[in-house]
């Protein structure tokens, strides 16, 4: 097992994607997800995943079952009011990126939890932002 990570929408969707033969569509994403000793899924990420899986309800039901099974490595993370406020501060600080609330919340949860590993497809945005009191802490992007 490896260190904990925070799942962003694109990273989580790729990690869960399967080919018609059942094999992972993106093995490097699946490996990052399954090797983490803790996978934090922010609530807003789950809502966005649900939107993208709106035509694949069985996949969404499977994810929900795994997410809330205490035997898995998933941890559902509510966005605290302070996270939402911080997400908007991060969005404003990096306004040229147009992060939005979901990505801002991923960064805010990473900052609060002091867990800087993010499973994401959004390398442009997450490689540019910094978190922490002085916006000096970079995020480690996986895979």
Which domains are assigned to the chain?
5-142 (3.40.50.1010)
Does residue 1 register a pLDDT over 70?
Answer: no
Instruction: Answer yes or no: are the C-beta atoms of 9 and 45 closer than 8 Å.
Output: yes
Hey, is 84 helix, strand or coil?
helix
pLDDT at residue 84 above 80? Answer: yes
| Residue 110 near residue 3, CB atoms below 8 Å | no
pLDDT in tens, 53-79: 999 999 999 999 999 999 999 999 999
Predicted confidence (pLDDT) at residue 90 exceeds the cutoff of 70: yes
Residue 132: is its pLDDT beyond 80? yes
Task: Give one word for 76, left, alpha or beta, with left for phi > 0 and alpha for psi -120 to 50.
Answer: beta
- Cα angle 54, 101, 74 (rounded to 5 degrees) comes to 60
Pseudo-torsion of CA 103, 104, 109, 115, nearest 10°?
70
């Amino acid at each position: 097992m490896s260190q904990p990570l925070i799942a962003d929408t694109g990273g989580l969707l790729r990690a869960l994607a399967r080919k018609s033969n059942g094999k992972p569509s993106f093995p490097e994403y699946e490996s990052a997800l399954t090797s983490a000793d803790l996978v934090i899924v922010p609530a807003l990420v789950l809502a966005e995943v649900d939107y993208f899986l709106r035509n694949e309800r069985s996949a969404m039901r499977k994810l929900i079952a795994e997410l809330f099974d205490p035997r898995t490595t998933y941890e559902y993370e509510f966005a605290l009011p302070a996270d939402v406020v911080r997400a908007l501060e991060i969005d404003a600080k990096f306004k040229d990126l147009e992060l939005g609330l979901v990505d801002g919340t991923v960064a805010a949860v990473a900052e609060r939890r002091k867990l800087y590993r993010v499973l994401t497809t959004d390398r442009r945005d997450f490689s540019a932002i910094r978190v922490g009191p002085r916006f000096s802490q970079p995020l480690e992007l996986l895979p």
